Amino acid sequence: MSVVVRLRNLVFYGYHGVLQSEQQLGQRFELDVEYRTAAPPADDLAATINYVEVYQRVADLVSGERYNLIESLAEAVAQAILTAFPVERVTVRVRKPSVSLGGLCDYVEVEVTKEAER
Q: Could you tell me which residue, 47 or 112, shows the higher pLDDT?
A: 112
Q: Which domains does the chain have, with CATH numbers?
A: 2-115 (3.30.1130.10)
| Predicted model pTM | 0.91
- 68-97 confidence digits (pLDDT tens): 999 999 999 999 999 999 999 999 999 999
Residues annotated as part of the active site: 96
**Long-range CB contacts (< 8 A, 24+ apart) of 74-79?**
74/31, 74/110, 74/111, 74/112, 75/112, 75/114, 77/31, 77/33, 77/112, 78/112, 78/113, 78/114, 79/114
Q: Which of 57, 94, 88, 60 is nearest to 75 (CA)?
A: 94
What pLDDT is recorded for position 98?
81
**pLDDT digit string (tens) for 55-67?**
999 999 999 999 9
User: pLDDT band at 22, cuts 50/70/90?
Assistant: confident
